[in-house]
Amino acid sequence: MSAKAMVFIDGGWLYRNRNTLFAKLGEENFEIDYAKLPRLFCEDVANRLDEDVSLVRTNYFGTIPSARSGFNTSKQYAFYDFLERSCGYETDIHEVEVGTDENWIKMSLSAALLFYAAQPGAYDIAILIGDDPDYGPSLRRARLFGKRIQIVGAHLQDGKEPPASSTLANRLRVSDFPLLYLDDHAAEMRLVRELVKRTCKQCGCEEETTWAGPEFFCSSCRGRYRN
Ligand SMILES: [Zn+2]
């Protein structure tokens, strides 16, 4: 029987640390392969344990500026929708006033991690993508339920270790494995859009595309649809 892993992503932390991915590859920016991201760290844990690890769920926690803020949030909503529909994430998104801190993310992630820890058979291993010392108390308690914890952190942009005061690393009784680093997988996380031939759902013609969504419409059918 394989061990069950659940991934918990602190969306605020991931957003702040995405620059380490770009820095690692010496690029300004690139698209991140969110479908692949949780699987990469599951594989790392499986290799460390030398047993099968199955990914049961990826839980993503994020915030969005409140409707009153006047920000155009449609792109952000589209991104969260993409995480759910195309990457199989379970998202937990909260409207916040602009400029407020991210306590909501930490509270809801901790609550979910402990809630599932208390559900028999929900997971054996929690993989936390978000190396923030505030998670210490919840991780310690999840471990009291016999759960194993893997923390994923990030190097600074110059490749150095972050200061101990701002990470969970080296804290007692919060994790079962040495820290993994987000940026160690930078190359694999870089989204590569493959050019493939696909058949238009409308007219049946074939066209080369990088679109990987479930339904494909050729460029002329897309143009007609828009008008
Ligand atoms: Zn067509």
CB 171 within 8 A of CB 148: no
> What is the C-alpha end-to-end distance of the chain, expressed in Å?
54
Lowest mean pLDDT across 146-150, 177-181, 214-218: 214-218
Residue 215 has pLDDT above 50, yes or no: yes
Report CA(131)–ligand 1 centroid distance (Å): 47
Domains recognised in the chain with CATH numbers:
3-192 (3.40.50.1010), 193-227 (no CATH)
* Average pLDDT, integer, range 164-184: 90
148-153/180-181 β-pairing: parallel
| pLDDT, averaged across the chain | 92
Residue 224 has pLDDT above 90, yes or no: no
pLDDT in tens, 124-140: 999 999 999 999 999 99
Which sign does the torsion angle of CA 89, 2, 167, 21 carry? negative
Report CA(221)–ligand 1 centroid distance (Å): 4
Report CA(196)–ligand 1 centroid distance (Å): 16
pLDDT in tens, 103-122: 999 999 999 999 999 999 99
CA distance 25 to 157: 11
Using pLDDT thresholds of 50, 70 and 90, give the confidence band for residue 193: confident
Residue 60 has pLDDT above 60, yes or no: yes
pLDDT at 56: 97
Using pLDDT thresholds of 50, 70 and 90, give the confidence band for residue 98: confident
Using pLDDT thresholds of 50, 70 and 90, give the confidence band for residue 203: very high
* Average pLDDT, integer, range 167-182: 89
* pTM for the full predicted model: 0.86
Beta-sheet strands, E only, within the chain: 3-10, 53-65, 89-96, 125-129, 148-153, 180-181, 196-199, 206-209
Report CA(198)–ligand 1 centroid distance (Å): 10
Report CA(32)–ligand 1 centroid distance (Å): 29
Residue 171 has pLDDT above 90, yes or no: no
Percent of the chain with pLDDT over 90: 72
pLDDT at 227: 46
Report CA(222)–ligand 1 centroid distance (Å): 7
Report CA(201)–ligand 1 centroid distance (Å): 7
22 backbone dihedrals φ, ψ, rounded to 5°: -65, -45
C-alpha gyration radius of the chain = 20
pLDDT at 33: 94
